[in-house]
Amino acid sequence: MHKVDVKEKARTRDQRILKKWNEEGTFKKSIENRSGKPNFVFFEGPPTANGAPHIGHVLGRVIKDFVPRYKTMKGYRVVRKAGWDTHGLPVELGVEKQLGISGKQDIEKYGVEEFVKKCKDSVFEYEKQWRELTEAIGYWTDLDHPYITLENNYIESVWNILSTIHGKGLLYRGHRVSPYCPCCQTTLSSHEVAQGYEDVKDLSATAKFKLHDSGDYVLAWTTTPWTLPSHVALAMNPDMEYARVQQEDGVYIVAKNLVEHVMKGDYTVLSTHKGSEFVGQSYTPPFTYFKPEKGNIIVGASFVTDSSGTGIVHMAPAHGEDDYKTCRENGISFVSVVNAQGRYTDEVTDFAGRFVKDCDLDIVKMMSEKETLYSKEKYEHSYPFCWRCKSPLLYYAMESWF
Ligand SMILES: [Zn+2]
């Protein structure tokens, strides 16, 4: 009697079915049989073939398989085009690793042209494994005629789409504030930023902004004094209570709930006011390297709280997302006095050419001399550093299209 090895049979069932599908051209037939029927178009969201596929990819591919199969069973003609994503950081980082280099400057030293060539060579390194996995899980897709993002016809189709959008007047140039490494000269993703936090002690400063009408000083606290030369506006919460506080050398304005926390020495609270009473007032900031259009005024912003600082926020649209949005909403000009290397531009005459993070101490000193500093203290906080080169990251407004 012929004995059936059940285990062996179970192990090879998938292989027997694959063999049958291949021999009979089942996938191809499922499309040909439906010529003239309505199309259901499926272009695969392309994976990157410079790395080996792993079990996580199986989940995505199974989902991408059963929708077209369902549509096929409903009678649609479903041409399924595979694709390869050949661009972006995963490819570049892989080649950097292979060459033992790191970052934009290293790449430029190596030669951009040559680097691009290496990248192109690397992107199909694991194509064979991808094909094997795809077939092994029974995922039907046309791997023989894929679209590839590095091919000119693909790139040109993207340009064509952009041109169409532009033709309709739907593109505009703006800024996006992102964590930025001035050494690698690239923005970092939130995933990358999360890898580089360290507890550090920085110098924080409470700065004085003299109101033109009353001569009172509005106080604003910052853990990044280097952003003060980029200052364009102050934000107060229109619905929050603020106090006018008398001290020997002047009257100061801070959030009512933070008076005790902020004020040094003896003081008397003169009166309290809603933030809205201050909105629209103009003042002189500690640094006046430029005159921001419609700037150096107090604006209302509901994101301002009294949980820390003074309850009044110093705004530098080049270095903060909320700052950027609020200034834009209020029609205040965008100003950036920090270049792509993280150094002050010539406008900032006192610190031109210096790396901004190294200027905190000198900025605070200068404010002290000019009597625009209320107080300073060492402040321990968690700060992000570049995971690649260990430089402190800056929040930096990069010009982009939207
Ligand atoms: Zn870096």
Q: Between 3 and 279, where is the model more confident?
A: 279
What CA–CA distance (Å, rounded) separates 366 from 31? 75
Distance 49 CA to ligand 1 centre (A): 26
Distances in Å between the Cα of 50 and the Cα atoms of 30, 104, 111, 125 are 31, 20, 21, 5
User: In angstroms, what is the span from residue 185 Cα to ligand 1's centroid?
Assistant: 7
Indicate whether 151 belongs to any domain.
Answer: yes
Q: Would you say the pTM of this structure is higher than 0.85? A: no
- Answer yes or no: is 127 within a domain: yes
Question: Does some domain include residue 211?
Answer: yes
Residue 102 in domain: no
Same domain, 133 and 233: no
Q: What is the distance in A from the centroid of ligand 1 to the CA of 346?
A: 24
Distance from the CA of 318 to the center of ligand 1, in angstroms?
A: 19
What tens digit of pLDDT does each residue of 126-178 get? 888 899 999 989 999 999 999 999 999 999 999 999 999 999 999 998 888 88
What is the arithmetic mean of pLDDT over 60-84?
A: 94
Residue 42 lies in a domain: yes
- CATH code, 32: 3.40.50.620
Mean pLDDT of all residues in 54-73: 93
Asked whether residue 33 falls in the same domain as residue 131, the answer is: yes
Q: Please indicate, yes or no, whether residues 157 and 282 belong to a single structural domain of this protein.
A: no
Q: Where are the beta strands (DSSP E) in 227-320?
A: 233-236, 241-247, 250-255, 268-274, 283-284, 298-300, 312-315
Instruction: Give me the torsion for CA of 242, 246, 250, 256, rounded to 10°.
Output: -20
Quote the pLDDT of residue 169: 95
**Do 148 and 207 share a domain, yes or no?**
no
Is there a single domain that holds both residue 165 and residue 80? Answer: yes
Output the CA 102–ligand 1 centroid distance in Å. 9
71 and 29: one domain? Answer: yes
State whether 231 and 366 are in the same domain: yes
Final residue before a domain boundary, out of 136, 171, 206: 171
Same domain, 209 and 306: yes
Q: Identify whether residues 54 and 167 lie together within a single domain.
A: yes
pLDDT tens-digit map of 87-106:
877 788 889 999 999 877 88
The per-residue pLDDT for range 209-266, each reduced to its tens digit, is 999 999 999 999 998 999 999 999 999 999 999 999 999 889 999 999 998 888 888 8
Cα–Cα dist 302/316, whole Å: 17
Q: How far is the CA of 398 from the centre of ligand 1 (A)?
A: 16
Is 332 found in the same domain as 286? yes
Residues above pLDDT 90, as percent of the chain? 57
State residue 335's pLDDT score: 87
How far are the Cα atoms of 99, 231, 355, 382 from residue 92, in angstroms, in the given order? Answer: 11, 36, 27, 29
Question: So what's the pLDDT on residue 10?
Answer: 60
pLDDT at 2: 58
What is the whole-number distance in angstroms between the Cα of residue 112 and the centre of ligand 1?
A: 18
Query: What is residue 263's predicted lDDT score, i.e. its pLDDT?
Result: 87
Lowest-confidence pick of 7-11, 241-245, 319-323: 7-11
Q: How far is the CA of 174 from the centre of ligand 1 (A)?
A: 24
Check residue 218 and give its pLDDT.
94
Domain extent, residue 58, equals 6-86+123-171
Per the prediction, the chain carries an average pLDDT of 90
Residue 330 sits in the same domain as residue 379 = yes
C-alpha 194 – ligand 1 centre gap (Å): 14
Question: How many CB atoms within 10 Å of residue 7?
Answer: 8
Residue 61 confidence (pLDDT): 92
Count of structural domains within the chain: 2
Is 256 part of any domain? no
Beta bridge partners of 64: none
Q: What is the mean pLDDT of residues 54-64?
A: 92
- pLDDT at position 308, please? 85
Instruction: Choose one of 112, 136, 171: the last residue of a domain.
Output: 171
For the domain that residue 386 is a member of, what is the CATH number?
3.90.740.10
* 93 within a domain of the structure (yes/no): no
Quote the ligand 1 centre to 381 CA distance (angstroms): 20
CA distance 202 to 294: 31
User: Given this model, what pLDDT does residue 8 score?
Assistant: 58
Output the CA 106–ligand 1 centroid distance in Å: 11
Phi first, then psi: what are they for 365, rounded to 5°? -60, -45
Q: In whole angstroms, what is the distance from residue 195 CA to residue 381 CA?
A: 16
196 CA to middle of ligand 1, Å? 10
- The reported pLDDT for the residue numbered 5 is 64
pLDDT tens for residues 329-359? 999 988 889 998 899 999 999 999 999 999 9
Q: Note whether residue 268 is domain-resident.
A: no
Going from the Cα of 73 to the center of ligand 1, the distance in angstroms, rounded, reads: 52
The answer to whether residues 316 and 353 belong to one domain is yes
Residue 114 clears pLDDT 80, i.e. is over it:
yes
Res. 1: pLDDT tops 60: no
Most confident by average pLDDT, 4-8, 43-47, 71-75, 257-261: 71-75
Cα-to-centroid distance, 200 and ligand 1 (Å): 18
